[in-house]
Amino acid sequence: MSGQRCLCHNFNASVTIPPAGHGPFVRALVQLITVSKENSKGATLFADELLEKVQRYAPVQSINIKPNPRNSPDPAVQRETEGEKVLKALDSRDLVVVLDERGSELKSEDLAKLVAAAGDEGRPIAFCIGGPYGHSDAVRGRADRMIRLSSMVLNHQVAVVVLLEQVYRAWTILRGVPYHH
């Protein structure tokens, strides 16, 4: 297996693992770390539906951090205290993808390659969505990649739904499922 760690289920040692990012052998733990209040029922229903679809391909761990834990009126203090909690939720092995309006735009195929790379490297992939004032410098500094879902600022609930749909789409691309056109 040339030193690669396979995180796939139904692994058979006699099966040859295809090149990076190809075939059904890519598997990585997906973490969704968000800073938010409770979501609306509609957004929660849609996010749960997408989460269930993603879990067909990979285990998903969702961590929600309460915004502004110190009840500070200062946005900079809010970002820093939220950032401390986000960093505590991360492991040193995580491939950290921070969603930020200053991040780069990715095509769906590029996100699939990023998910595949995490699986190939045996690293959990952690997607971080910040609070109302974004991420702290420390969280952005920890990022392996910074991406944006749009050049517009999105409501947190919308960002979660869009991200989950794109992660699901990434898995269908990797598995050759006819969802992405």
List pLDDT tens digits, range 77-97: 999 999 999 999 999 999 999
Q: How confident is the model at residue 7 (pLDDT cuts 50, 70, 90)?
A: very low
Mean pLDDT of 111-129: 95
pLDDT value of residue 71: 87
Average pLDDT estimate for 166-180: 93
Average pLDDT over residues 3-25: 38
Give yes or no for residue 12 having a pLDDT over 90: no
Burial 3-39 (b: 16+ CB within 10 A, else e): eeebbbeeeeeeeebeeebeeebbbbbbbbbbbbeeb
Q: How confident is the model at residue 141 (pLDDT cuts 50, 70, 90)?
A: very high
Domains and CATH numbers, the chain: 28-175 (3.40.1280.10)
Q: Are 102 and 109 in contact (CB under 8 A)?
A: no
Distance in angstroms (rounded) separating the CA atoms of residues 92 and 74: 29
Output 171 or 17, whichever has higher pLDDT: 171
pLDDT in tens, 24-53: 455 679 999 999 987 788 889 999 999 999
Distance CA 159, CA 123 (A): 23
Torsion of CA 93, 85, 53, 157, to 10 degrees: -140
Stated pTM of the model: 0.84
